[in-house]
Structure 1
Amino acid sequence: MATPYPTPISLSKTCIGWTDIGLMGSPMASHLLSVGHSFSIYARDPSKALQLQSKGVCLINSQQDLAKISDIFFTIISGPPDVCSIILGPQGVLSSLNPGGVIVDMTRNHPALAREIFKPARKKDSWSIDAPVSSIDVGAREGRLAILAGGDIIQWLSPLFRIMGKHMYVGEAGCGQSCKIGNQIVGSANPLGLSEALTFAERAGLDLKKVLEGIRRGSAGNMIMELFGPGGFAESLVKDLGMGLDLLESEEERAVALPGASLCKQLLCGMIANGDEKLGLQGLVTVIERINDIQK
């Protein structure tokens, strides 16, 4: 380690660690590498690291070893069980992170788990930030992610966040994940309304292209319409909405009635039951069509 917090981040001296290297993680890491940051990675599947290795990135054998040499350790993995194991497990990142070291978890995670990571990190004079992203893989490739950051020292991390997209401080530890869940609730409800509108228009014998253009020009038009195509998988979105609905059962959270999110989750489960788990939000229209006995 050369520049742990609060030493300012240095292009040549700050040591960045990263796991995992997948659909989102690889382009995000590549942006940091492209501006000259010192970089090492841990990959559970080493074959996914080959492209970054060809650019000079060092592959480390374990997350523990990587944490020992990292000023800042980024994680973007599959969900809460992996986050718990990789960060909090006996062989996890936190067990080896040095004082002043910073964990930045960009995974879709549960707010309570983000707070659970933050507390032991502070006890050992380290830091933990929950910073999930709002966008699809195109946003990661083009450096246009919306980064929803919860926790302290966000300003210190801003030089790195700006390379990957635009960041916003949304509150204390766990708030980034809560904001992400809110984003997913809105992001799921809009395509559901659009799916029903298109099904209604089709039954009415309308030209669907003209219907879409009419909606786009009116007050119902929004960015979700432009993303009405491949995006987050249905199986991932079910987990995201499930985390919001699970808050109703948590002693740490106030009960919130989320009937729309519950309905969206059930319809996404219908997609999965129909074998469409790898479709994005645009696949909701297939469920609405089946309910209305529209065969395609």
Structure 2
Amino acid sequence: MATNQSSYPNPIHPSRTRIGWIGTGIMGAAMAGRIRSAGYFLTIYARTPSKASTLLSSGADLASSPASVASCCDVIFSMVGHPHDVRSVLLDPISGAVSSLSPGSVLIDCTTSDPALAREVAAAVSEKNCFSVDAPVSGGDVGARDGTLAIMAGGEKEVIEWLSPLFDLLGKVTWMGPPGSGQSSKIANQIAGAGNVVGITEGILFARKAGLDEGVFLRAIRSGAAGSKAMEIFGQKILERDFAPGGFVEYMVKDLGMALESRDGDSDSAVVLPGAALFRQMFTGMVANGDGKMGLHGLITVHERMNGMP
């Protein structure tokens, strides 16, 4: 559906734009909290209502289903765990959000999901005379709380620009291309991010085995070519054995799995990704060890086990 900003009679504004939110996990709750703190009326759906207690105490309303959220909101965000969750909360013919969209409303999926599924959602939303944006994010729970997320958006550029007052509350949005482009960008981001974590944890382990002070080692390399945002986020946490998740490692296994699969049934579109395959194997080791709910930097425990270290 072609459109432009003039298709919308009112700019985004807390006094007249009703916001819906589906999914209140670690990331979703923090992101929705920023929307609510900016003064927007918020209607939420949470499969586990207790996870929405802070939002409810701030004045948000609780809906009984994703469809109920969509029926009363102008802009609906979703932030759930897996592609099958996206399909359930958005495309279920009875309880899914798409079934109850009002003409002209906008659906924004922030879940890291399948690019092909994002295109399927966009087609279903277009049939309702509505608009869809796939907008996965990077930056973890810290970025979600601070409003510094990197947002990779696929969809119509004009719609994304119209939504900028909301995206600005969450971080920095970049238009990546047509539907599905946001998801493809996030998967590529996950490959790069996983490689960073593997390198950091393996470097720390090598430094430890060499008898180096791990803290001194990290400070020494931080400003060099090996320094990275991932090191800033995870370095000290690794030293303190603080493996609390900003995002569950089991989701990284899911994301790298999507990278390694050909999604469109076209063998010519397949990409050989030996690094991603190795990274996924290592993070899968964490899950196999019972650590799937740890943060990514808990990967150091896999290195330790492989080296017979306590």
| TM-score (ref. length: structure 2) | 0.89
Over aligned residue pairs, what C-alpha RMSD do you find? 1.9
Secondary structure of the residue that 1:73 maps to in structure 2? Answer: strand
Verify the 8 A CA contact 1:28 1:164 in the aligned structure 2.
yes
1:227 match: secondary structure: helix
CA distance in 1, matches of 2:267, 2:252: 23
What amino acid does structure 2 have at the position aligned with 1:6? Y
**Residue aligning to 1:25:** 28
Amino acid at match of 1:21: T
Alignment correspondent of 2:110:
106
Hey, what does 1:263 align to over in structure 2?
278
Identical positions, percent: 49
1:17–1:40 contact (8 Å) kept in structure 2: yes
Matched with 2:177 is 171
Work out whether residues 261 and 270 of structure 2, in 8 Å CA contact, stay in contact via their aligned partners in 1.
Answer: no
Q: Greater CA deviation, 239-248 or 180-189?
A: 239-248
Q: Which of 112, 130, 140 pairs up with 1:136?
A: 140
Residues 1:195 and 2:193 aligned together? no
Q: How is 1:244-255 mapped onto 2 (pairs within 5 angstroms)?
A: 244-247=259-262, 250-251=265-266, 254-255=269-270
Change (3 A) 1:22 1:5: farther
Distance in 2 of aligned mates of 1:240 and 1:205: 35
- Give 1:198 deviation, angstroms: 2.2
Partner secondary structure for residue 247 of structure 1: coil
Q: Do residues 236 (structure 1) and 237 (structure 2) align?
A: no
Partners of 1:13 and 1:252 lie apart in 2 by 48
Worse overlay, 207-216 or 167-176: 207-216
Write the distance in 1 (CA, Å) between the matches of 2:52 and 2:203: 43
Contact 1:247 1:253 in 2 (8 A): no
Cα deviation, 1:161-186, whole Å, max 9, x if unaligned, reads 00111111111111111111111111
Name whichever of 262-271 and 65-74 sits farther off: 65-74
The answer to which of 201-210 and 243-252 deviates more is 243-252
1:236 alignment partner, SS class: helix
TM-score normalised by length of structure 1 = 0.93
Superposed, which structure 2 residues align to 1:1-296 within 5 Å? 6-7=8-9, 8-91=11-94, 92-152=96-156, 153-228=159-234, 229=237, 230=243, 231-247=246-262, 250-251=265-266, 254-293=269-308, 295-296=309-310
**2: CA distance, partners of 1:124 / 1:115:** 15
State the distance in 1 between where 2:267 and 2:77 align. Answer: 26
Q: Is the 8 A contact 1:11 1:38 kept in 2?
A: yes
Q: Rate the CA distance shift 1:60–1:200 in 2: closer, same or farther, 3 A.
A: closer
How far residue 236 of structure 1 moved from its aligned partner, in angstroms, is: 1.3
Shift of 1:252: 8.8
CA distance in 1, matches of 2:24, 2:212: 45
